[in-house]
């Protein structure tokens, strides 16, 4: 069992579009397939590569606090561009206005457990 991981990050929003991801916008870095009609229904996040190196892994669930309406339980399924450090990126609908929050607390709550999502 992993020890409790808690960190403070910057949180942003992204859309499953080639200009924000890559030429396969509906496939995450974990290999999960995004529902193109309702991406936000997954409640998936991308994390910066430095967080993956610190032990935050694909399929694990995190509790997010301090990001307004985005607070709650999300699952790690994607990775951000290496230029980002200490960031998470919420997968949202393509028509949602993008946003940014500072000092967002994320806590690892489980591994591979979607029961709370």
d(CA 104, CA 83): 19
CA 114/CA 117 separation, integer angstroms:
5
Token pair, residue 3, equals 């020890």
**DSSP states along 79-114:** E--TT--SEEEEEE-TTSPP-EEEEEEEEEEEES--
In a domain, 117, yes or no: no
Range of the domain at 33: 6-111
Residue 93 is assigned to a structural domain of this protein: yes
**What's the CATH code of the domain at 67?**
2.40.40.10
Domains in the chain, number: 1
pTM, to two decimals: 0.87
Q: Examine residue 1 and state whether it is found in any structural domain, yes or no.
A: no
**pLDDT, one tens digit for every residue, the chain (117 residues):** 455 788 999 999 999 988 888 889 999 999 999 998 889 999 999 999 999 999 899 999 999 999 999 999 999 999 999 999 999 999 999 888 889 999 999 999 864 444 344
In a domain, 116, yes or no: no
Q: Considering the domain boundaries, does residue 96 fall inside one?
A: yes
Residue with tokens 């924000």: 20
């Amino acid at each position: 069992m992993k020890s409790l991981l808690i960190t403070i990050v910057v949180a942003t929003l992204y859309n499953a579009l080639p200009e924000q991801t890559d030429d396969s916008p509906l496939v995450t870095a974990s290999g999960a397939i995004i529902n193109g009609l309702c991406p936000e229904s997954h409640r998936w996040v991308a994390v910066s590569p430095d967080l993956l190196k610190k032990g935050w892994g694909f399929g694990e669930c995190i509790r997010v606090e301090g990001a307004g309406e985005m607070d709650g339980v999300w699952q790690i399924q994607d990775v951000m561009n290496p230029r980002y450090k200490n960031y998470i990126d919420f997968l949202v609908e393509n028509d949602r206005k993008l946003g940014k929050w500072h000092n967002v607390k994320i806590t690892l709550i489980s591994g591979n457990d979607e029961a709370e999502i």
